[in-house]
Amino acid sequence: MKKFIVWFSLVFGFAFIATVGQPTQQVEASEKTYTIATDVTFPPFVYANSNNKYVGIDMELIKAVAKKEGFKVEIKPIGFNAAIQAVQSGQVDGMIAGMSITTERKKTFDFSNPYYSSGIVMAVKKGSKVTSLKQLKGKTVAIKTGTSGADYANSIKKKYGFKTVTFDDSDSVYDDVKTGNAVACFDDSAVLQYGVKTGLGLKIVTKPTDTGNYGFAVRKGHNQVLLNKFNKGLKALKKDGTYAKIIEKYTGKKAVSAQKKSSENSSDSYTMLALLKQNKSAFISGIEETLWLTIVGILFATIFGILIGLLGVVPSKIAQGLSTTIIYIFRGLPLIVLALFIYNGIPSLTGTKVPAFVAGIITLTLNEGAYIGAFVKGGIEAVDSGQMEAARSLGLPFSKSMRKVVLPQGIKIMIPSFVNQFIITLKDTSILSVIGILELTQTGKIIIARNLQGFRIWAIVAVIYLLMITVLTLLSKWIERRIKN
């Protein structure tokens, strides 16, 4: 028991240092930092270059505006649909992601002056015989969650008799068309035209429809200062020629042919080893984030779980009921729903931001903690009830009988479940990619969004997870042996 406490305090101390030691961003008093959400892949507006840095028209525009207007930006590449939700819940200050200004969206967003215009087109695989909407009958069409392309497809799908499949990222949409699962996709003309020119492997078969403008967006009625700054900055950039330069830099002949070349040459440089080397720093920071989440998550979940478990065995109906309810709720909720609720749901109600890392830890604590609570309670109950009775009849009070007699036996029963739960926690951190935490899974997604090497990158990510799980298992087994002795 003593050893258990020593170990427990060691882990606790470590995790405490971990939480406190988390790098925080320094904000200068004079320059306000705004968090801006964006898409993951939407070239030429936003995409990660070969160094995994976010570039594109939108990225350069927002940075140039910030420089002109004297503020700082922290970019959150979380994907289009997630960005929409993050703005609505107030988790971020604004978004720039090739976002179309629509009447519907104006009900919930305030938009800047337009900075680009685009319509919606249908694209098919190069060489496909499908060239018109009529040929879509009975077929599947790929669209991207929450976009105007998706709205358009949904508005005509009955008429033309096609089904839709939805993806969160444009590259998954294009991939689905290229592999032949979907016969076509609907997306922005500005993006698809650029894609066709730079070797995406698709062709456009319809004229642009629903043409409109892109704008920088904030939540309606909020962040008006930022919106005004954007408008002022954009105007200045247009006047001094920076705007034209940015557009030329990404859509000009030179840029397009360079991009095309790089996508043609790319397949040779995509061996596993080359991919690992190219993305070394991204992988390392992804691993670090996954480990932080796991360590801090396990720690808090363990504390929470033990408390809930103990609450379930004290001789009080209220305490037991509370324990059962907490376990019921947090074990019952899917982790992804809990994460989205904490990250997007609560802030939209309370108006205060919850940093993604903190939201992630709360999610893990509640969910993994509920499982731990359940087996802690079960472990204690599994100890023969005669033990408690004997201790009590010797005159020991309840808490002492619990500590000295029941718990030491119960803990031995629980240990394998603890080891199991720690491993599950590590794996579950990957689900937190939905709230934009740049852990290993999200890192993989972003790399793939750039180089479209899904098979190889997912294989690398899988191996890294297995390695981490192996280390964690060995460590847990070692601790288990120590406690048992």
Measured distance CA(426)–CA(422) in Å, rounded: 6
Nearer to ligand GLN (CB atom), residue 104 or residue 240: 104
Measured distance CA(75)–CA(37) in Å, rounded: 6
Q: Are 336 and 401 in contact (CB under 8 A)?
A: no
* Kind plus residue range of the DSSP H or E element containing 43: none
Nearer to ligand GLN (CB atom), residue 105 or residue 331: 105
Measured distance CA(78)–CA(60) in Å, rounded: 18
CA-CA distances (angstroms) from residue 44 to 11, 421, 450, 472?
Answer: 46, 43, 12, 41
Measured distance CA(258)–CA(22) in Å, rounded: 39
Least separation in angstroms between residue 447's CB and ligand GLN is 19
Nearer to ligand GLN (CB atom), residue 141 or residue 414: 141
Least separation in angstroms between residue 147's CB and ligand GLN is 3
Nearer to ligand GLN (CB atom), residue 39 or residue 428: 39
Nearer to ligand GLN (CB atom), residue 69 or residue 176: 176
Q: Are 344 and 91 in contact (CB under 8 A)?
A: yes
Q: Which residue has the tokens 């004229």?
A: 207
Least separation in angstroms between residue 316's CB and ligand GLN is 54
Measured distance CA(90)–CA(49) in Å, rounded: 28
Nearer to ligand GLN (CB atom), residue 147 or residue 443: 147
Least separation in angstroms between residue 148's CB and ligand GLN is 4
Nearer to ligand GLN (CB atom), residue 61 or residue 296: 61
Q: Are 61 and 115 in contact (CB under 8 A)?
A: yes
Measured distance CA(382)–CA(155) in Å, rounded: 58
Enumerate the H helices of 118-167 as residue ranges. Answer: 148-160
* Half-sphere exposure in the Cβ direction for 330 (13 Å, CA): 24
Nearer to ligand GLN (CB atom), residue 148 or residue 259: 148
Least separation in angstroms between residue 177's CB and ligand GLN is 15
List 94's β-bridge partners, or say none. Answer: 36
Measured distance CA(423)–CA(476) in Å, rounded: 9
Least separation in angstroms between residue 196's CB and ligand GLN is 17
Judged on CB neighbours under 10 Å (0-12, 13-18, 19+), 345 is middle
Least separation in angstroms between residue 184's CB and ligand GLN is 17
Nearer to ligand GLN (CB atom), residue 125 or residue 144: 144
Least separation in angstroms between residue 180's CB and ligand GLN is 23
* Kind plus residue range of the DSSP H or E element containing 315: none
Nearer to ligand GLN (CB atom), residue 119 or residue 360: 119
Residues that bind ligand GLN (CB under 6 A): 39, 42, 80, 97-100, 144, 147-148, 188
Least separation in angstroms between residue 4's CB and ligand GLN is 51
Least separation in angstroms between residue 341's CB and ligand GLN is 24
User: Hey, what are 281's tokens?
Assistant: 């720093």
Least separation in angstroms between residue 411's CB and ligand GLN is 51
Q: Are 121 and 173 in contact (CB under 8 A)?
A: no
> Which residues, in sequence order, are CB contacts of 278 under 8 Å at separation 6+?
50, 269
Grouping H, G, I as helix, E, B as strand and the rest as coil, residue 134 is helix
Q: Are 111 and 101 in contact (CB under 8 A)?
A: yes
Measured distance CA(438)–CA(443) in Å, rounded: 6
β-bridge pairing 116-125 and 202-204 = antiparallel
CA-CA distances (angstroms) from residue 154 to 67, 119, 139, 160, 163?
Answer: 40, 16, 14, 10, 9
Nearer to ligand GLN (CB atom), residue 42 or residue 418: 42
Nearer to ligand GLN (CB atom), residue 44 or residue 312: 44
Least separation in angstroms between residue 371's CB and ligand GLN is 37
